[in-house]
Structure 1
Amino acid sequence: DRVLSFCLRHTFLVFLVFVGTAAASVWLIQTSPKGFFPQEDIGQISVTTIARQDISFDAMSRLQGQVASVFSHSPYVDHVAWSAGSGNNALNQGQLFVQLKGKDQRPDIEKVLADLRKQLAGVAGIETYMQPVQNLRLGSRSSASAYQLVVQGLDTGLTDIWAQKLNDAMAADHASFTDVTSDLQNNALQATLVVDRDKAAQLGIDTDTLRSALYGGFGTDQVSTIFGSADSYEVITELDPKIEWSPERMLAIQMRTASGSLVPLGAFARVDRTAGALTVNQLGQLPAVTISYNLPQGVALGDSVTRINALKEQIGMPTVISTTFAGTAKTFQDSLANQGFLVGGAILTIYIVLGILYESFIHPLTILTGLPSAVLGAVVALRFAGMDLSVIAVIGILMLIGIVKKNGIMMVDVALELRREGMSATESIHKACLMRFRPIMMTTLAALMGTFPIALGTGASAELRQPLGVAVVGGLLASQALTLFVTPVIYVYMENFSGWLVGLWSKRKGEPGSVEAGDQPSLFKPREDMLPEPQRAAAE
């Protein structure tokens, strides 16, 4: 009661506190790291492996087995399933699915990933990219890492060059990015057999004979079928898979001539070795390279977007090369652009509904003055908890808009009723605060007790919900501490402002009871017709 009376006596000081709170809320929202959805720990890891572009399937399988062995021997891993060169991937890529042990038998997933990265660094000849599996995943693109950046241009060679430069710059920035890779596959060592057709014709070897002979050794030439009692088996010829092939070894293959004699392949052919592309990717009929990356712990997705733009300027990327985000990163950008409209739309809707209920343009603003303190508390709580301003946190702020305004509604409802009974604005809001203090405290405590377990982050997939709980708890605590004293002061100002507008309108219309000349209405001093009945009679 004494604190409230002090605030109502020093309204301008409290008003400055309100303005400072609103300014601090805007500044914190603008400077807070922006994120998308918090990373869940459901105990599963998706792993992509990439070896050199010209590796054979057998060599890739051996390396993939070594990687799987590292996971299998980890004390945090329950089981591993893996494949190499399957599906739509190139032969130099593989996939692993890792199931971790329960949370009570291991640390959090970030520490597990850090430990596994150290162990996998000892496997030479293959790169490993890990990302935790998420229950909620937006963005249709799949890649080695969680976030994607697409580099495009009209010229394939120029696009590849600048995509590689940007990829290298991001990989070197360990503070902002990790697990940086791209789908650029343009440096595979290829062997091309060039046949001298004139010499081959002199030996009686035509193109079909040569193709058939080589396909029988290196392809999948089915020569027979073995039928069993319940199944059949295809018989496929091949050269000894243990042979380590080289251009010289290939040119030593014996070919039968038309006369029946054997001659080496090198008698009429040679092997040219060149670097070529395994795949050429396009997006919208333009050459495209997709760079994928993960974020180190503590780095927000919004900060990484800003850092990529800075790296583009740093390396001097030309304007003919364009970059766009894809997958989860693109969805994040779209959501970030719409968050302001979402929050503004919610506030506007509440203002319209309250305006209809109170038949006033003024007092809905009085009720909404509790929002800056709630937003300030929510963002400060997120900062202290080390969380970014994610979509889940914004949902928590939207919940706060609905929860916090009930404090103002309780006070303003009673104050307006007391005003109709003849009390002054200051007396009515003072008494209303005292009368509604207990319901305000009880409803706030009920909301706090409901969201506090969420803020603690316990249970399955708690990481996804925790920012919502932290934002609501922080916002409720801050708004409860400030709105009980700020809202009454704003109410008094709004009542004075309303009376000032009425007097000004009456003067312009020249209606009876208008303000006399020289008796200008004051914004900070109540008009006489706003005073209680006894005081009004004395004034007359």
Structure 2
Amino acid sequence: MFLFLKPRSERPPVDQIILRLQKSLGSIPGIAAVLTPSPVLQISVGATSQTQGQYAYTISGIVPDDVYSMADQLMEKLRQFKGFASVRSDYYHDTPNLKIDINRDRAATYGVSTSAIQSLLRNAYSQNYVYLIKEPDDQYQVILEVKDKERAHPDDLDDLYVRSSTSGNFSASGSGGGTIATTTGNMSSLVPMRVVTSTKEVIGPQAVNHLNQFTSVTFNFNLLPDVAIGDATKFIEDAFAQIHPQHPTVQGIFQGETLVFQQLFRSLPLLLLAAIFVMYVILGILYESYVHPFTVLFPAIVPAVVGGLATLYLFHSVLSLYSVIGLFLLLGIVKKNGIMVVDFALQRIDEGWDLRSAIHEASMERFRPIMMTTLAALMGAIPIALGFGQDAASRRPLGLVIVGGLIFSQLITLFVTPVIYLWLEWFQEHVLDKVPFLRSAHTHHEGEPARGEMRPEPAGVH
């Protein structure tokens, strides 16, 4: 069921609506209601989806009783965390079940295999898809099952017959003396299910779920507003660690968006280093220098990342998938400030300007383009940061990271870039230029004319 809400100006936030509806629906006996906002990014990883909750944690093990026992203990621990808007599992252990035991000796006597019994039960009760009918304008799935009225009671199992596969001559009799099945030659017969199986009504799980062929229980949960997913995952891991010594064969793993979040932040440092390295290589080839890529990257990227994360903290937002995407976008936007300044300064040096005059002229001449491009990026990110549009709460961290990072980086870069440039030029001239392999193509040594600069004429020569 889908609920379409009114515009944001006419209703409370989605999280408040979900909490109010869950309290009302939870008071109705027999209803297990799950309310989740429709996510912008549909993420389904492993044995779970976002229909039961935005985040999920799954425990699995070899021994089913250990898994179910740990599931009950872990659920009690999870209910103690105040940051969960809702938490539930797919383990319902008080459901009526019909336990079927196969009498293997009797089944062998009648020539009935275990696989034949399992196949019969699957075809009768599991809504098994057996064929696809294709028409010119449509196609239809053929589902094999018994009628609803013939599978509503446990006694209906007695009406099923399984085919034997024994060849030869034999005749089997029931307890009352009557003949149950007769086989002659290679002809197979139908044997009643009640002859080769016994049934017992028990209370057990509603479904036996599996993860990697092991019995599993999945916990689905949603978070309250302003609760970080990192805090929730740490609480779950600590709770699991406290119970795990009692059930050493049980393992736990995050699923869905939580798994993606963990994998992303586990590889985030490597991704950032790889991105910075690629930018360094490209800028090094462009400027034919080992140091000037640092002039572009260091004054821009460090303030941008600090400003973006500080903005998230000031506005009580969380570091989510969207904010990480915003950080990578920010890296590509802010480095253009240093590129415009350094590229212009190198052009002036090639024309014969000294270092201080070149970087000063570059900073003055490139100030207007830098401000224009920064304002253009800000105007595009401000609506996202303010939360306009549908599902704005999810995208808001992305806008906050970009806006905060751009503003902070803009204030720092304009003052720091010339200083870094002059210092690295000094380092290039006095250290790196002594090694031929590391010599820069744009180095201007003191006392020597730069490329394109004319030597001063002697006095008296006109």
Q: Same fold (TM over 0.5)?
A: yes
Q: Does 1:471 align with 2:379?
A: no
What residue identity is the alignment partner of 1:374? A
User: What is the aligned counterpart of 1:339 among 252, 268, 293?
Assistant: 268
Kindly report the root-mean-square deviation, in angstroms, between the aligned alpha carbons of the 2 structures.
3.5
**SS of residue matched to 2:331:** helix
Unpaired stretches in structure 2, ≥5 consecutive residues: 101-124, 126-146, 153-198, 438-443, 458-462
Change (3 A) 1:536 1:184: farther
What residue identity is the alignment partner of 2:36? Q
8 A contact 1:363–1:494 mirrored in 2: yes
CA-to-partner distance for each residue in 1:100-138, whole Å, 9 max, x for gaps?
A: 334343211111122223333433454433212224211
Aligned residue in 2 for 1:363? 292
Unpaired stretches in structure 1, ≥5 consecutive residues: 1-95, 194-218, 220-233, 240-270, 509-525
Change (3 A) 1:298 1:527: same
**SS of residue matched to 2:266:** helix
Aligned residue in 2 for 1:436? 366
TM-score normalized by the length of structure 2: 0.68
Q: Distance in 2 between matches of 1:238 and 1:324?
A: 37
Aligned residue in 1 for 2:179? none
Matches within 5 A, 1:63-82: none
Q: Distance in 2 between matches of 1:441 and 1:481?
A: 11
Aligned length: 355
Aligned residue in 2 for 1:114? 19
**SS of residue matched to 1:98:** coil
Change (3 A) 1:273 1:450: closer
Q: 1:146, CA displacement in angstroms?
A: 2.3
8 A contact 2:381–2:403 mirrored in 1: yes
8 A contact 1:424–1:530 mirrored in 2: no
CA-to-partner distance for each residue in 1:431-488, whole Å, 9 max, x for gaps?
A: 2212222222222222222222222221233334332222111111111100011111
Q: Distance in 1 between matches of 2:99 and 2:431?
A: 89
Q: 1:237, CA displacement in angstroms?
A: 9.8
Change (3 A) 1:138 1:273: closer
User: What is the aligned counterpart of 1:153 among 45, 48, 61?
Assistant: 61
Change (3 A) 1:179 1:387: same
**SS of residue matched to 1:491:** helix
CA-to-partner distance for each residue in 1:168-193, whole Å, 9 max, x for gaps?
A: 110222x2323212122333356899
Q: 1:388, CA displacement in angstroms?
A: 1.6
8 A contact 2:57–2:218 mirrored in 1: yes
User: What is the aligned counterpart of 2:4 among 92, 99, 115?
Assistant: 99
Change (3 A) 1:291 1:408: same
Q: Does 1:324 align with 2:249?
A: no
Deviates more, 1:369-378 or 1:345-354: 345-354
8 A contact 2:63–2:215 mirrored in 1: yes
Q: Distance in 2 between matches of 1:346 and 1:301?
A: 26
Q: Distance in 2 between matches of 1:303 and 1:496?
A: 47
User: What is the aligned counterpart of 2:86 among 166, 175, 179?
Assistant: 179
8 A contact 1:374–1:476 mirrored in 2: yes
Aligned residue in 2 for 1:312? 240
Q: 1:312, CA displacement in angstroms?
A: 1.7
Q: Distance in 2 between matches of 1:100 and 1:425?
A: 61
Change (3 A) 1:157 1:536: farther
Change (3 A) 1:531 1:163: farther
**SS of residue matched to 2:262:** helix
Matches within 5 A, 1:511-530: 528-529=446-447
Change (3 A) 1:288 1:528: same
CA-to-partner distance for each residue in 1:297-331, whole Å, 9 max, x for gaps?
A: 21122221111111122335444211011222222
**SS of residue matched to 1:289:** strand
What residue identity is the alignment partner of 2:283? L
Aligned residue in 2 for 1:17? none
Aligned residue in 2 for 1:300? 228
What residue identity is the alignment partner of 1:188? T
**SS of residue matched to 1:107:** coil
What residue identity is the alignment partner of 1:180? V
Q: Distance in 2 between matches of 1:162 and 1:187?
A: 16
Aligned residue in 2 for 1:408? 338
CA-to-partner distance for each residue in 1:205-258, whole Å, 9 max, x for gaps?
A: xxxxxxxxxxxxxx9xxxxxxxxxxxxxx996999xxxxxxxxxxxxxxxxxxx
User: What is the aligned counterpart of 2:77 among 159, 169, 180?
Assistant: 169
Q: 1:425, CA displacement in angstroms?
A: 2.5
Q: 1:527, CA displacement in angstroms?
A: 6.5
Change (3 A) 1:461 1:188: closer
Q: Distance in 2 between matches of 1:360 and 1:394?
A: 31
What residue identity is the alignment partner of 2:212? G
Q: 1:531, CA displacement in angstroms?
A: 8.4
What residue identity is the alignment partner of 1:178? A
**SS of residue matched to 1:297:** coil
User: What is the aligned counterpart of 2:308 among 378, 396, 399?
Assistant: 378
8 A contact 1:147–1:292 mirrored in 2: yes
8 A contact 2:63–2:249 mirrored in 1: no
Q: Does 1:497 align with 2:404?
A: no
**SS of residue matched to 1:128:** coil
TM-score normalized by the length of structure 1: 0.59
Q: Does 1:450 align with 2:380?
A: yes
**SS of residue matched to 2:3:** strand
Q: 1:344, CA displacement in angstroms?
A: 2.6
Q: Distance in 2 between matches of 1:277 and 1:342?
A: 43
8 A contact 1:149–1:325 mirrored in 2: yes
What residue identity is the alignment partner of 1:160? Y
Q: Distance in 2 between matches of 1:111 and 1:98?
A: 14
What residue identity is the alignment partner of 2:382? F
Q: 1:363, CA displacement in angstroms?
A: 0.5
8 A contact 1:376–1:475 mirrored in 2: yes
Q: Distance in 1 between matches of 2:213 and 2:418?
A: 62
8 A contact 2:19–2:85 mirrored in 1: no
